[in-house]
Amino acid sequence: MGDHIDYQIKEESENQNLCSDISCSESDSFYCTVKVLHSSETQTCRMESENYVKRGDFILINSRYGKDLAVVMGPVKCICKSEKDNIEDIIRIANEKDILKYESNLEREKEALKLCKLKILEHKLDMKLVSAHYLLEESKILFFFTAESRVDFRDLVKNLVSIFKMRIELRQIGVRDESRVLGGLAVCGRNYCCNGVTDKLKPVSIKMAKEQSLSLNSMKISGPCGRLLCCLSYEYDFYLEEKHKYPTEGTRLLSGEEQFKVLDTNVITKKITVVSSDGRFFTVPLEYLVKEVSGKWTILETYFATQEKS
């Protein structure tokens, strides 16, 4: 339905919203997750029937900016209580005319973006224009921008209204939102998480990188937006749980009469690296480690017996 429409649908067969505090939808209510094409924001919508729309269908919805085109990501099995007040109805399924208009607007948006950038320079405003967007069924243009502080753009809006002869709305967004709107390839070679996976991401902290024994070099653990990589939160809970099975770095271990110090823990290979008092290094698998009732760790002597044989 149009070669110029670029969107990404989650790889899962269906999208299920599950949590510890859920209020399941009534038997006569059906929901789906949709993604607004321009901003890549997701929201939950109510369907008329279970098979009213399917994954990949284009629909018209009331987004927080106005009536806009969205794509269906998949059905939602359960709705959290906190989400029920934010559910919107699907206005209708998009037709060929809607798709053609959307594609036509993409070309108009390029021109609007160029013109707005020139006007920003003329007004000497300290702001970075991110994107321009024509709403599908409303006479309004949205301009998204980033800025270090608040910007007085009232004169700019008046100027733009006199040119475009329609409503103008300027929205200041953050750097993460900029990445979500524009999209792009991350260091992993895949689309940005905020653009291609979900816009509702968990907060990320430097502690998550430490727990996963990652380099704390900001260049390596930061995304194009300059913030910590969203994916640091994906495996954090796994590392947190697994590390309880291992002695922490710096812990002193005994094996017989000999003492060792833990230098590194690798939960992926399930091994730890230790150094003996005389400077010898060993990589000890988890199955040779024992935690005593007192809390002290020991290395089974059978490990060194296998080392001697090998």
Q: Which pLDDT band holds residue 257 (cuts at 50, 70, 90)?
A: confident
Of 75, 95, 115, the residue that ends a domain is 95
In a domain, 81, yes or no: yes
What is the pTM for the complete model shown? 0.73
| AA identity, residue 276 | S
209-223 tens-digit pLDDT: 998 988 888 888 998
Determine the average pLDDT of the residues in 247-275. 91
For CA atoms 104, 107, 113, 116, give the dihedral sign.
negative
Tokens of 253: 């271990």
| Residues 129 and 156 reside in one and the same domain | yes
Whether the Cβ atoms of residue 179 and residue 146 lie closer than 8 Å to each other: no
Number of domains the chain is built from? 4
Whether the Cβ atoms of residue 57 and residue 101 lie closer than 8 Å to each other: no
220-233 tens-digit pLDDT: 899 888 899 999 99
In a domain, 5, yes or no: no
Range of the domain at 260: 246-309
Least confident stretch, 35-39, 47-51, 92-96, 266-270 = 47-51
The CATH number of the domain holding residue 110 is: 3.30.300
Of 216, 241, 266, the residue that ends a domain is 241
The CATH number of the domain holding residue 280 is: 2.30.30
Residue with the two structure tokens 């013109």: 115
More confident residue, 7 or 253: 253
How far is it, in rounded angstroms, from Cα 139 to Cα 164? 10
Whether the Cβ atoms of residue 70 and residue 63 lie closer than 8 Å to each other: yes
How far is it, in rounded angstroms, from Cα 299 to Cα 288? 6
For CA atoms 73, 75, 78, 84, give the dihedral sign.
positive
